[in-house]
Chain A
């Protein structure tokens, strides 16, 4: 990529396309990797959001596209933006090539621009891999399996939920997965180790792309983008690496040309400053994550013993649309499994946001989707495995006694060096 000879026509045009397309795709990196930069990076992003919405409406005839962030990277908006960037890249490459190729004495290769693009790619992928890796190591991306997650049947899971439950179960495996992303991310920060880092990223991201395609995880476009970028980082070294792996001799890569000592020092200081800023940004992102909320005193699964509504005890009849069968108490949400449910979807399972106040023994439950209708329940803990809830719920005055659900097979199994037989249930 940094060869000093003239490039072929196809390579020149392809390179120009890649530069224009890549700039649009990465923009406004590295500003968005710095701490507290939302103030700057969000307004910088807006023109591209407007352009995409306009392109969708005026050219493709798709009205009302907005860049609402909800965790999906495979929205219609994202596909339209990709198409827009590809078209702008093609137009840009055409205009640029027309200027350079038709005029006399235009450049025949772009070694310095290619080297700069290589550095940009390295840092971009490094930042993404570190962010994803740390989110796994600190168990933010895959939090431990919650009480609700434990009580959902596989048939009622979505494919993505199946993957999340699988990862959420194992802290060690999730941390391992995070290290497989964070370590190559670190290696990408230095020129010498960048190729090893990029090869490891290719292995890891191939697996993740396959997971995303196979388990309906809407990060297909972004994971493929990272995989392609890792491939581009390896490209200049690919031939040498393959030759060495096949047992052939390989030449040394010429060291980077040094500049004046003063400029080298500026480079070093700015690199160090950038890395520190990036580290601070990553730390602030982690520290502000809502998943770090502490669990409350009755986090877990509870089985209803008696259920009294408006003073009348209701027997556990599966046709009763009101009586509760059990309660899954997560940190910020709860699921009430109705006796009429039997793991049926729809109205037989109620899902609410809630907030437990241990000091006052109250639970504030949000019962509507808009977050406007709230109920305050009281609870007491006669014994560690007993729970009593009193409150008005959907117009009925409830008195519910519950006992803690028995320990689960999944969470009590633990690690075994010796297995006389497989335990596969």
Chain B
């Protein structure tokens, strides 16, 4: 018995050491995405927010991530928030992210963008889509939700890759021979303060003059995806279970074709949800969103664009929901500081953007 116990202890020690050696390698040789989103750290920052201090969660794909700034919303209506948007975040990924989010902070309101309502891409269709799904699975900090996500992913898409989801190094190991200096840099979000993100919002400072591009004339029609609808329904059920109200936001995009907007609006109306959207170009111009300097590419708003849009979202929330105004409450002084920091860092830039807009109409991303 003594021998067996010794052997088991030795085995556990060995596995622990192996794990300790494995993790740094796995964190280095990982999936490659065209922008560094620091998803894991953003989740951790969200967890670190004081308990019960988040009133609104903004969730969806990249348009919401660049388009809504919770600090501006707070400044407008005194409701706190966190931006949970990220690139290529499908309904499937949003659902599990929200499960995780609600474990830490149950907000009063979820502002949900349905930009991926048409996305029915299976991960095995292309490496881009495989990475798009994997980045959410691999960065999920909650091990149980991660496991649930892995098995749901296998089931939904008929995959058989449990092992390399549990140990992503097994999937991306071949990347060892194209590591660059950039891969060895520490995460700027974690270690150098709010360089790229403010309360989860992506602060892109580039601007492209897209005057003349009229997204509303785009006639392309793609049917809404059954998979997405199913997972949006699950999100609604999840919110209902936690007593979270839901508002739909059709975030302005210059590639926003009528079908996307129509399907999102239809979905909102079918589920009796409030929906903020701009039915035509004039409407979103009237909200202060200009094609000249508010976008860093056709699908995403920059720090300039997020100002009028965040204000519009704040106004809609104030009109439709009864959220507590924390402004002036000493317990929420950190949010006033956050707004001040935001103004110090981006205020001048935002006001100058009209003059310094990039005349090049090409897409910088």
State whether these chains interact.
no
